[in-house]
Every structure is written in C-alpha cells, then in structure tokens.
Amino acid sequence: MKTCFRVAAAALVIGYALFTKSAIAADTNEEAIVALKGQIAGMEEQMLANQPVLDGLAKIKLTGYIQSQFQIADTDGAAGFSGGNFPAGNHQRFLIRRGRLKVNYVNNLTQYVLQFDVTQGGVAIKDAYLSYNFPWDKKAWTITAGGFDRPFGFEISYSSSNRESPERSRMYQVLFPGERDLGLKFDYAPDSGPMKFLRAKVGAFNGMGVTAVENDNNKDIIGRLGVALPFYDQNMALDAGVSMYMGKVRNGDKYQYAVEGTPKKWMVDSTSTNKNMYYDRNYMGFDAQFYADMPVIGGLSLRMEFISGDQPSLNGSNTFYIYTTPATGVSPLTTGVYQRKFSGYYVNYVQNIGLMDQFVLKYDSFDPNTDVEGDDIGLTNANVRVDNFTSADVQWTTLGFGWVHHMDGNVKLVIYYDMPTNENVSSTLLVGSLLPFKEDIKDNVLTVRMQYKF
C-alpha cells in the first residue's frame, strides 16, 4: 500500500511539473508570436510608407558610356574632324572623347531626360528635355520640349555609342555642330494600324545650339518625313526619309558677300539697310538605310545621306553664321555675312563578321561653296591674288575604314583610319595661307578606341 501511494504521489508531482512547464512555455511562445506579429506589422507599415519612393525609383533608368581613345596623325598640329584639331607640335594624344551619364525618368505618359558629357575639357549638358505622350494614342503622338537632337536626317540621332565610325561625317559636324538645339517638336510614329510605316517629326528651334542663347526673334523649322519598311520574309528592312531645315540668320553689319565676277571672287554689297537683315539658312536632305541578313555573308547595313542648301557663314568659316551681342549690349559682330551654297553626302557600309566583329567602310564629301572650283581659289596675276577665297571654300572628301570588335555586352574596341583629301587650289598660288592646299595636306588619323556602355 505504501509503495502504491508513493508511486501515485510521484506521478502527481511529475505531472504537475510537466503541466507547469508546458503552461509557462505556452505563455512564452504566445508572447513571442505577439511580438513577432507586431514587428511584421511595423515592417509592413514602413514598407507602405516607403512604397511611393520605391515606385519612383523603379521609374528611373540610369545609363551611360565612356569612350577612351588614342590617336596618331600624320603631322604635328593636324587639323580635322576626327575629334578636333591636334595641338601644335603634337600628333599623338590620349582623349576621353565622350563620357556620358544619362538619367531617364519614365512615367505612364511622360518622360524626363538629363544627360551630361564629362571629358578632359570639363562638364557639358548634352540633353535636357521632357516629353509627353498624348493620352488618346500614347504610342503614336509625342511632344518634346527642351534641348535635344535636331529632327533632321539619320546621322544626328544615331547615337555615338552605336555608330561604327568614331565621328559623324564632316558635313554634319559643319552644318549641325553639337547635333542638338533648344526648342519644341512633335513626333508621330504609330506602331500599329494602316500608318505604322510612317515616321514624322517637326519642330521649332532657336537655331543656335543647345548651349547658346537666342539672338533674334526668328525660329528655325526643322522636320523629317520618313518610312520604315520591314521585309520579314526576306530578312531585310528599308528606312528612308526627306528632311528640311528652314531658318534665318541676322546680319550684324551692313556687309553682304556673294560670289560674282570673272574670275570669281567675293563681291561685297555695303548698303546700309543690310544691317539687321535676315538671310536664308535652308537645307534639304535625303537619307536611306538598308539592312539585310544574307545566308552566306551575314548581316550588313548600307546607309547614305545627301544634303544641299544655303549656308550664311563667315569669311574664314563655313559653319553657320552667329550674330552675337556682348553682355554689355554694345556692338555685334562686324564681319558681315558670306552667302554660300553647299552640298554634301556620305555612304556608309557595315558588314558583320560572325557575332562579335564588324568591318566598316565610309566615304563622305562636303563642298562648302558649290559656286567655285579648286582652280578658282588662289588665282594670282603677276604674283598678286585676284580672288579672296579662303580654306572655308575648299571641298573635302574623306575615306575611312575600320574594325569593330565587341568584347562582351558592355565593351567594344574600335580601330579606324580616316583619310581626308582636300580639293587642290590654283597651281599659280605662290604664297599665303592657302599654299598648303596646292596638294593634299597630310592629315590622316588613326583612332584606337575602347568603349564601355551600360
């Protein structure tokens, strides 16, 4: 009996202990669960509070690229359009040709873009604009305002990070320095429906470039009307368009120059009413791009453009004439306007070699003054010049060829050789700044470039 009592008592003690421990453990787990639920609820509340910020950050796209290159020219101080003139006494150089950082914020109907260019020369703004897609057809109609690419031709808007040749053609560098301008434009590019092949854009611009202030009340009209025609069954595509530039340039003085006479030379009209008159800056252009994937030779592209028109400019420069007034508001430039007619074109062929390499061949021509030939420039009579033309009236052609190797998805290597050829001036020229143009100037340039893009 005593033994049974002792067993029962021990069982009661053990059971009580186990029950008590279980109860304590249950209380502890419940408190932990309650605390964990509180932490989770707090985190959810914090995430909800931060969600607008996270949603905004998700709309930001950060891209950029850097082009580091080494160049060798034929002679010290070589001038040209392969990244700018070489310093005097120097024909080899390292350059950061472009260092771009682009911020793009995309909302449902709107877009904000800001792009900087950082090189050894400093920091510059390249793009600063906003765009809005009209809600009735946001995939077709867009309005853009700020500083951005001029809507002319093909090569302006073809990114320097994608272009196979290191630089744009000479005619584009002369006619559209910096590629961009300040203004407003409309785009129409439907991706469905009966007009999905159409590409149209037109805008009004200051005409001074993206970093210069406006200097008159005239606005330049720029536009392009194009088509995009894919031929899927043939693995081909053809894009083409016509472009126009209708602008005005104001004369800062009474002097107006035009090519006249026999022999030809710049003749001046100094009528006092010429001051503050406007002169046409009009261009017409045609461009076409053909793409194909051939069974044997692989992918290729053939691109070409032609531009001609009127270019008000300076005596020693064939870029567009800029009328400027100093901050003091005193006198404008007093050199007068030189009215030139020009024409230019380029043909660019790219052949893919496998998946990583491309061969590039490009030929371009730019005649800044179609009213004169080389024999008209530098004419002398008894050792005295009978004309007053300058190097700004000399025609140039450039043959370039190179190799592009895509090392991976971010890095590519470009090796490219430019061979500019100048028009030869009159053989009677004996002295003066045009004397080197009696034969081809030694200004070929080899460029070796590494690009990183993300």
**Interval 177-208: pLDDT, tens:** 999 999 999 999 998 889 999 999 999 999 98
pTM: 0.85
Check if the beta carbon of residue 174 is closer than 8 Å to that of residue 394: no
Tokens 């033309």 found at: 389
Q: What integer pLDDT is reported at residue 320 of this predicted model?
A: 82
Superfamily of domain 59-453: Porin (2.40.160.10)
Residues 320 and 313: their CA atoms lie apart, in Å, by 5
Q: Where are the alpha helices (DSSP H) in 119-209?
A: 170-175
Q: What integer pLDDT is reported at residue 57 of this predicted model?
A: 73
Side-chain-side CA neighbours of 69 within 13 Å: the count stands at 25
As beta bridge partners, residue 419 has 399
Residues 332 and 324: their CA atoms lie apart, in Å, by 5
- The angle at the Cα of 129, spanning 124 to 133, to the nearest 5 degrees, equals 160
Check if the beta carbon of residue 191 is closer than 8 Å to that of residue 165: no
Structure tokens at 421: 């050829």
Phi, psi of 46 (to 5 degrees): -65, -40
How many percent of the chain have pLDDT more than 90? Answer: 71
Domain residue spans of the chain: 1-58, 59-453
Which DSSP string corresponds to 1-54? -HHHHHHHHHHHHHHHHHHHHHHHHHHHHHHHHHHHHHHHHHHHHHHHHHHHHH
- pLDDT digits over 16-26, tens only? 544 455 544 55
* pLDDT-flagged residues of the chain (< 70): 1-30, 32, 34-39, 41-56, 322-334
